[in-house]
A and B are shown apart, each in its own frame.
Chain A
Amino acid sequence: MTIRDDSALDGNAIGGLLLEVFGTEMTAAVAVCASCGASGPVAETVVFLRAPGTVVRCRSCGAVLMVVLRRGQQNCVDLQGLAALELR
């Protein structure tokens, strides 16, 4: 499944959120998809800000890589769709 959604952003748009969650710059980190094995910079992932929470999908297969839900002052982070996240 490739995603054709004109409202989709990319991983650049969540640089601030990921900095908040991980405490370091993450858009240049390499994300490896647990579903298809594709790897590429977080900046090149497909991002939906208006889903319930922030949803990050694989540009190759469309699988969900990450979900970040904000609850009050807390962020709940689901990274199940990632095989690896390699900081550069």
Chain B
Amino acid sequence: MAGTAVRGRLTWQVATVETVRDETASVRTIGLAVPDWAGHTAGQHLDVRLTAEDGYSAERSYSIASAPGEPVAITVERLDDGEVSPYLTEELRSGDEIEIRGPIGGYFIWTGDDAATPLLLVAGGSGVVPFRSIIRHRHNLGSDVSVRLLYSARSLPDVIYRAELDDAGDGVAVIFTLTRQQPPGWTGHSGRVDQRLLAETAWPAHQDPLTFVCGPTPFVEAMASGLVELGYPAGRIKTERYGGAEAP
């Protein structure tokens, strides 16, 4: 079985950029051709490594935006002081090659097996990326698990995958809140997700929902403790933190 163990090892490989699509002014989805891709699960991520001519290299993790079985895609938000994201969102062109390794992660994943209870997805900003994979996977499976996505974004133009989320299909409810700026006539929620909005939009705890929370670290901490306050057992809340990006 030695061969199996070696194959299981994660190695860097070269991926070719097939498509680039601007989602918002600062967010881009990059479709990749990866010759040796093992297949991924919804919620997983991959690592990207960029190496400068002088040998300096930087690695970052990005959630996979595509569903299992679809071509690999990542969605990247440009951080103005970032080392990697400005290159990925501004310089990268179709046909370019980047080094990646993945898929990665066995905790923040949704396989579709746990379909007996509803799913609550809570996203801050680009934390919505793994949820796109989950929602598409649910659709591809023909699953009828009920989904609520609570998505906090700065403004309507900052909403990633807006058209796709508006058309997410039966059984998927998307609840937006816009924290900084609301367009004229906006009838959705405004301001950050507070305990009232969380209580209003989250499934009742007695339905034993499975919950995923993804976004900037302070956002995730606030949502996770708010959900525990609503009676959600900590073990049913899966979290993924993106770090110190400004709260959406």
Chain A nearest Cβ from B245, distance in angstroms: 9
Query: Which of B5, B105, B216, B218 is in CB contact (< 8 Å) with A15?
Result: B105
CB atoms of A41 and B8 under 8 A apart: no
Q: Does any Cβ of A come within 8 Å of B244's Cβ?
A: yes
Residues of the B chain whose Cβ atoms lie less than 8 Å from the Cβ of A41:
107
Q: Does any Cβ of B come within 8 Å of A16's Cβ?
A: yes
- CB < 8 Å A-B pair total: 72
Size band of the A side of the interface?
20 to 34
What residue in chain B is nearest A26 (Cβ atoms)? B106
Residues of the B chain whose Cβ atoms lie less than 8 Å from the Cβ of A7:
217, 243-244
Q: Does any Cβ of B come within 8 Å of A24's Cβ?
A: yes
User: Interface readout for B84-113 with A: 1 if CB under 8 Å, 0 if not?
Assistant: 000000000000000001101111100000
CB atoms of B240 and A16 under 8 A apart: no
Residues of the B chain whose Cβ atoms lie less than 8 Å from the Cβ of A12:
45, 61, 105, 107-108, 240-241
Residues of the B chain whose Cβ atoms lie less than 8 Å from the Cβ of A69:
none
Query: Which of B8, B102, B240 is in CB contact (< 8 Å) with A23?
Result: B8
Chain A nearest Cβ from B181, distance in angstroms: 23
CB atoms of B239 and A10 under 8 A apart: yes
Residues of the A chain whose Cβ atoms lie less than 8 Å from the Cβ of B45:
12, 15
Residue positions of B touching A, CB distance < 8 A: 5, 8-10, 45-47, 59, 61, 101-102, 104-108, 216-218, 238-244
Residue positions of A touching B, CB distance < 8 A: 5-13, 15-16, 19-20, 23-28, 41-44
